[in-house]
Structure 1
Amino acid sequence: MAFDFSQDHFSLLGLPHTFVLDDAALEAAYRGLQSQYHPDRAASLPDADKRQALQAATRVNEAFQILKSPLSRGRYLLKLAGVDTQEETNTAMPVAFLMQQMEWRESVVEARANQDMAVLDQLAQDLRGERLGLEASLGRCLDEQHDYIGAALIVRKLRFLEKLDQAIGDAIEVLLD
């Protein structure tokens, strides 16, 4: 039960090193490796082989989780290219983007205070559209233009949107309770 732990996530799953991935191919590669390295298959093997099977299955799970999320996949591709996204330290954003964030956050607060589920649903839908647009831009930056600085900015924007999406989800949850 040999397993090459030195492979990056794309190589491990036999996928191209690209942002745009075939979801079905990702799922199939994951399922195939999980079947091959599932710890239950090593139940009758020596303890060392059981540990290796568990480590391999864990590594396969990690690779799948990172590659199935566009934000995590973009972040990971940048890491492979040696680019730090500086998500924790670089909060510089274009003014228009920051203004939109402030408007959305104010709308979330107002909708929550007014218990307006329709507004929250619309905000969530608008945010999904914005996120999909940014993900498409991230794909172009990474796969076509090899613009890693631009891609890092988009990753930081997506991180902002992820936090906003969480705030909308929290507001909806409060209203549903």
Structure 2
Amino acid sequence: MANLSASDDYFRFFGLEQQFSLDLSALDQAYLAIQKEVHPDRHARGSDTEQRLAMQMATLANTALQTLKNPIQRGLYLCQLHGVDARLETNTAMPAAFLMKQMEWRESLEEREEDLGALEALAEEVDQSKRDILTEITQAIDGGKNYTRAAELLRGLLFIDKFALEIDDAISALV
């Protein structure tokens, strides 16, 4: 059965290196291998303990997969593993330049909510900003092991992700 002793570290659970830059196909392969091993149907004739353990492992595999697949969740998880709490609920402080950019984007969205081309251009700008921050997070975590900086960047990325959804909704309303 899968390594339950590795359940305190999702990366180790899947046999992956603990880093932000992740080979998603390797993650999927590791997940499928574990699911194949612990699938409840394989343990239907086992003892109650074996069935319960298989169910726990399958649930753990699902939770770990969802955490590691999502870049924001993966980054927050890495920060947590290294003792840094992003304090998402209480720390909303952002650099002034970031806040100004957010205000500019919001104004642009409000002013152009009926202009599909302008919304698509705004979506691309926001997406580029997201890619840039993901690169910075990769450098902070994988390059510098600077989990405090990564947590700051992840807080900003949450804002960007939420705004990107608002743009998607505005575009969907026009098409």
* Superposed pair shares fold, TM > 0.5: yes
Residue 29 of structure 1 corresponds to which residue in structure 2?
Answer: 30
Could you tell me the percent identity over the aligned residues? 44
Runs of 5+ consecutive residues of structure 2 not aligned to the other structure: none
Residue 49 of structure 2 corresponds to which residue in structure 1?
Answer: 48
The alignment covers a number of residue pairs equal to 174
Write the letter of the residue equivalent to 1:56: M
The 8 Å contact of residues 20 and 138 in structure 2, kept in 1 or not, is answered as yes
RMSD, aligned CA: 1.6
> Equivalents in 1 of 2:127, 2:50: separation in Å?
44
TM-score by length of structure 1 reads 0.90
Change (3 A) 1:15 1:3: closer
> Equivalents in 1 of 2:134, 2:62: separation in Å?
23
> Equivalents in 2 of 1:72, 1:2: separation in Å?
23
Residue 93 of structure 1 corresponds to which residue in structure 2?
Answer: 94
Residue 157 of structure 1 corresponds to which residue in structure 2?
Answer: 156
> Equivalents in 2 of 1:156, 1:12: separation in Å?
26
Residue 115 of structure 2 corresponds to which residue in structure 1?
Answer: 116
Write the letter of the residue equivalent to 1:90: N
SS of aligned partner of 2:89: coil
TM-score by length of structure 2 reads 0.91
Runs of 5+ consecutive residues of structure 1 not aligned to the other structure: none
Kindly state the Cα deviation for residue 45 of structure 1 after the two structures are TM-superposed: 2.3
Would you identify which runs of 4 or more consecutive aligned residues in structure 1 move more than 6 Å?
none
Write the letter of the residue equivalent to 2:61: V
Show the 5 A alignment for 1:73-152. 73-112=74-113, 115-152=114-151
